Amino acid sequence: MMSTLERIGIVPVVVLDDPDAGPDLAAALAAGGIGCAEITLRTPAGIPAIARISAADPGFLVGAGTVLEPRQVDEVADAGARFVVSPGLDPEIVERALARGLEVLPGVATASEVQRALRLGLDRVKFFPAEVLGGRAAIEALSGPFPGMRFLPSGGVTAANAADYLATPAVFAVSGSWMVPRSDVAAGDWAAIEQLSVDTVRAA
Ligand code: 3PG
């Protein structure tokens, strides 16, 4: 599974207000060349949207983001999520996700958190908030003591800097919300999202 995220290379971070919009959004991303999405649990639409996307297109790699409680791991797994992302590192969430057979990408910002992730058996983490923390240079610095760890920078990544991040050997994919503006999602402007996805894939 994680090799699929790595192959796609770009993970859209999605906030949905209407779960029914999920399948159309996923189809627009896929048409633009991005076959995955992290649906955040920042709105109540998150979990039902995951279920609808998963039912509509089993080939689309749908995951859950902003997972803050261990019980949410079970809820998103039951809905069909195949990976779990958190802004920070919570060992209970990591352990629950691994027990459910899901990939898990906790957020790290410091060497201590990378070390904790390693102790939990992980070799991939989210690096958040990437730009504020120093971007590519910070990831390269962390790679010194942790050569086996690979990162998903998120937070401030855009079409303009995605290629630079992806050129970093320790980066396995990038994530962010730039290709899924909440206003376009709310308006159902799927053509705009498809075009942003095409532009992103080209730039990356
Ligand atoms: C997030 O959790 O919101 C992601 O890191 C996306 O950040 P962005 O909106 O800066 O792309």
**Average pLDDT along the chain, 204 residues, taken 10 residues at a time:** 84 97 98 98 98 97 98 98 98 98 97 98 98 98 97 97 97 97 95 97 93
- pLDDT for 3 equals 73
194 annotated active-site? no
Inside any domain, residue 82: yes
Query: What domain count does the chain have?
Result: 1
Measured distance CA(161)–CA(157) in Å, rounded: 6
44: Cβ–Cβ under 8 A, 6 or more apart, which residues? none
Ligand 1: nearest atom to the Cα of 66: 2
37: containing domain: 2-199
Which domain CATH number covers 16?
A: 3.20.20.70
Inside any domain, residue 71: yes
Inside any domain, residue 45: yes
174 touches 162 (CB < 8 A): yes
Ligand 1: nearest atom to the Cα of 131: 10
Inside any domain, residue 204: no
Ligand 1 centroid to residue 155 C-alpha, Å? 4
- Omega before residue 181 within 30° of 0, cis: no
38 annotated active-site? yes
Tokens of 22: 């999920």
